[in-house]
A and B are shown apart, each in its own frame.
Chain A
């Protein structure tokens, strides 16, 4: 099976993402196209719920590549991210060598058959459907030592296993790194990547996203939801709602058989959009009622 070729232009990249149900803006398409064309990792930063992880998933689906996901967390180490030796089998090998009268030293326990491959090493292997998409998700959750380790992987697409040697990728994987910016990522790592800040979308694009992601929601309700959420983002809340919240809310209203926004339903379902009590207390009541009127006007 031959791999689906990478998009050859910015427009082709936009088209590719749209086919996967993702509505990108021009800036994202450009960054992604360049990352694919130059073989560089794409570093996506943005607030939670703006669709960073989704980009990698859609990319893997539309290009029909394997998606290898490394979810980062504090304390993530080489044993969990790259490789681990299979200790029980190693001990067994030593035991067998002893039983055969050869002595423990005769057993070579550092060969590929005792190696357990974790995501990063898997991503460097050759895959039938072409180089895989490697998603390093929420890199900001891990700590600086792991970031430092990633430098070798991301610049040379190779990892060094002391007992075995250096493993180098035949064809470099497509790397997408996401960060929620709960911590600044070191400049040395960013330098190796193309950077894109995933922002909240404008009203028009958000309607298109909603139409693609929540098809059952009526156009009228969808437009009102989008305008209301856009209004919320202008309020300087502690946590403005992301696109994920917009989609969730539209689905919630649909489940309640709402055809239009009305203050009562909005107050009752605010918890789908806003996740901090301060924010909810501020919006509930007068602000929400006024927002509903405005959203109806704007949606026409």
Chain B
């Protein structure tokens, strides 16, 4: 027996909202939910919540989104068109303050109200979305739209860091590999009988660990949201990524960024880091990294990506020395500088001049206004180290 009355329609709308917000919910799940709901007490909101949760949520990261959508949808039946069956205005988890919906959920629900389809969700302006009024020492980031998330995912797939994957000491079966896999050979021989057919293996390759040191001082403030989205995407895209943010002090935000939901991750980072949009002490930050972290995260041939404009409050003091130590400790030091507006760049600031001789690769970005520009800059074919070293001299 399946559910009757207004419930099927409501459920379908609810599933649509979730789908638009990014949860993978196909018609099969909706049918399953319709079959499941008659089995439980519809008057009990908690039972309905957890039944739908069990059916619709496949990842822990989607739980929070589901909770917000559920609380909103089953409280505002007008938005759903037909009258809601389960309309008890009981607040779920009492400890949660009422908070603004993430943008992708708000859009998903708004789209339902006006009958808009997902294709017509207006694309927000990514750069302008960073708000300057909301920071004192901590930082709030606007949440991401569904379109932004999809776009970020697509762009990340195209990211090619200028670092070749390195050969590991592990091997995997390969038809024409250089080593003989005795174990597989003998096992196969039992099946075939008289002739030993040689099975082979070859070394596998993998990305080297990546350590990102990202400047979040005042001069970099305009890029903060976009950079963090990039860092979140790359943290969740591959393993062995460590992310540090620095202004006047150094903060490890790897754990915070590891949350799969970008909104939750950025909110956590915003709370953790204490020195948003202040001054920069690049030398001190690198020194702190060298002493406290380099041995912990630079083992196994890590590549360091340094994102800073090189404008140093300390006038480059101690910077050259610490940068040199950093370069010696890692496989490759890549500097991404978003400050450059034109190609004929001459390094004038003391920080830039102190840093330049010690980086393996210099990636100037002329117009870093989007994730696409950032990824394009990182994926460009390498400029040899000597070429810009000559510029610096």
Contact = CB atoms under 8 A, between A and B. Distances in A.
The answer on A and B forming one complex is yes
Interface of A: 73-75, 77, 79, 85, 87, 90-91, 94, 98, 103-105, 109, 140-141, 143-145, 180-184, 236, 238, 278
Given A74-B168, A105-B190, A236 B291 contact: yes
Q: Is the interface of B mostly helix, strand, loop or mixed?
A: helix
A105 B194 CA distance: 9
Given A182-B296, A183-B297, A278 B194 contact: no
A216 to B, nearest CB: 33
A208 B43 CA distance: 72
B274 interface: no
Contact of A74 (B169, B291, B297): B169
Contact of B193 (A90, A103, A184): A103
B182 interface: yes
A143 B207 CA distance: 13
B168 A143 contact: yes
Interface string B277-311: 00000000000001100011111100000000000
B268 interface: no
Nearest to A107: B190
A182 B301 CA distance: 11
Contacts of B239: 144
B299 A183 contact: yes
Interface of B: 168-170, 182-183, 186, 189-190, 193-194, 196, 239, 290-291, 295-300, 321, 325
A103 B192 CA distance: 11
A143 B291 contact: no
A184 B186 contact: no
Contacts of A104: 189-190, 193-194
Nearest to A94: B189
17 contacts: A75-B168, A85-B182, A87-B186, A90-B186, A91-B186, A104-B190, A104-B193, A109-B190, A141-B299, A143-B300, A182-B295, A182-B298, A182-B299, A182-B300, A183-B300, A236-B291, A238-B325
Contacts of B299: 140-141, 182-183
B182 A87 contact: yes
A73 B300 CA distance: 11
Contacts of B297: 183-184
A132 B186 CA distance: 33
A153 B202 CA distance: 27
Nearest to A278: B325
A181 B294 CA distance: 10
A75 B169 contact: yes
Given A75-B169, A87-B186, A94-B189, A181 B300 contact: no
Contacts of B290: 238
B190 to A, nearest CB: 6
A43 B350 CA distance: 46
A77 B170 contact: yes
Nearest to B287: A236
Nearest to A85: B183
A126 B170 CA distance: 31
Given A143-B168, A143-B170, A98 B194 contact: yes
Contacts of B194: 98, 104
Nearest to B329: A238
Contacts of B168: 74-75, 143
A26 B170 CA distance: 41
B318 to A, nearest CB: 12
Contact of B296 (A75, A94, A105, A181): A181
Nearest to B180: A87
B30 to A, nearest CB: 36
A172 B296 CA distance: 31
Nearest to B302: A183
B186 A109 contact: yes
A103 B194 CA distance: 8
Given A98-B194, A183-B300, A238 B291 contact: yes
A144 B207 CA distance: 14
Interface centre among B182, B196, B321 (most CB of A within 10 A): B182
A238 B299 CA distance: 15
Contacts of B189: 94, 104
A105 B300 CA distance: 44
